[in-house]
Each structure stands twice: as structure tokens, then as C-alpha cells.
Amino acid sequence: MADSPAEAGRLLLLTTADTEILATAKASEHLPEGFPKLGCANPAALDDPAAFFESELPEARAVLVRLLGGRRAWPEGLEELRLRCARLRVPLLAFGGEAEPDAELAALSTVPAGTVLEAFEYLRHGGVRNTENLLRFVADTVLMEGYGFEPASALPEVGVY
């Protein structure tokens, strides 16, 4: 399927949790044909955030950022990301890395609060299946696609998943 202007671009996930980058890579194997491309990076590992933004944000259709430790984990980069997303009109979803929502980061998001809270549930529970459904959820609710998604589900306390 060729990319139309509305379909071109990618979902960009910036997270300080390398396990989420790995889960996203695995989840991408289960996404349907035609699904937006994915980009992932750990913001703490970016040598030049401005150069990264310059190359990645013009193609982004939505950006998800999750910071373990909240805003203080990446204050300058987060502010620059917020400003660039606003200028480019790219939806931004911002989350803390704790088990409870981070109100300060959620307030930086440019999508409805209910969407941010529901997306956070996928991150809170973690795992490949929840990551896949997070991506589907964002594609359907933010980008207005129609891939379908399941609600977030808790992972077993023990075992392999």
C-alpha cells in the first residue's frame, strides 16, 4: 500500500526505559500491513537532541515520550520537544515512568487527558502485547486510523511474558 500524505510518517517513541524500546521492536512484528512506521530512541542517549528532532520530527505523526523520574530526567530536551511538536502540529503524549500518572508531564500532552490516561495504562502494565495495543490505540484514537486495539491488561506477577 503506497503512503498517501495522510498515511506517511511515523509514530515516534522516546523513552528512558530500554525495555520499552525492546518491547516496541518485538511488538512491531505483530502490527498490520500499512501501520505507521515506528521510531524509538532513549532521550538520555541522544548526543544531539536538536539534530535528532530536526531529522525525526518532520515525519512524525505523533510523539510519545516517557521519562523515568519525570520532567527532571530530561528538562531541556523535553521543552525543546514540546515546542517543536507544537510548531509542527504533531500530537504529543507525555508520561512519567512511575506506576502512577505524572500530572506535570500529562499536562504537556496535546491530546485529550482521557487519551493520555488510557495510553498510560498500557505503559504501566508493560510487556509486548500491551505495547502493541498502545501503538494501535494511539494510531486509532490520535491518528484516526482503524486498526483496532484491546484494552491494557495486567501481566502475571511471575513467569515469562
Nearest to 38 by CA among 9, 10, 66: 10
- How many CB atoms are closer than 10 A to CB 61? 20
Confidence of residue 3 (pLDDT cuts 50, 70, 90): very low
**Helix 18-28 crosses helix 128-141 at what angle (to 10 degrees)?**
70
pLDDT at 2: 39
Nearest Cα to 10, choosing from 29, 28, 26, 23?
28
Q: Per-residue b/e over 11-39, b at no fewer than 16 CB within 10 Å?
A: bbbbbbeeebbebbeebbeebeeebbeeb
Q: Please state the domain extents for the chain.
A: 10-141
Please tell me the pTM assigned to this model: 0.91
pLDDT value at residue 7: 52
Q: What is the pLDDT of residue 158?
A: 66
Model pLDDT for residues 33-53, shown as the tens digit of each residue: 999 999 999 999 999 999 999
The per-residue pLDDT for 156 is 79
Cα(69)–Cα(130) distance, rounded to whole angstroms?
A: 22
Band (159; pLDDT cuts 50, 70, 90): low
pLDDT (tens digit per residue) in 62-98: 999 999 999 999 999 999 999 999 999 999 999 999 9
Please provide the DSSP assignment of 62-83 as one string: EEEEEETTGGGGSHHHHHHHHH
- The pLDDT of residue 61 is 98
pLDDT digits (tens, 9 = 90+) for 120-150: 999 999 999 999 999 999 999 999 999 999 9
How far apart CA 93 and CA 111 sit, in angstroms, is 7
R_g of the chain, CA atoms, integer Å: 15
Return the higher-pLDDT residue of 38 and 8.
38
Residue 137: all three cell numbers together: 490505540
Which residue has cell 511538536? 85
In CATH terms, the fold of domain 10-141 is Rossmann fold (3.40.50)
User: What pLDDT does 9 receive?
Assistant: 82
pLDDT bracket for residue 8 (50, 70, 90): low
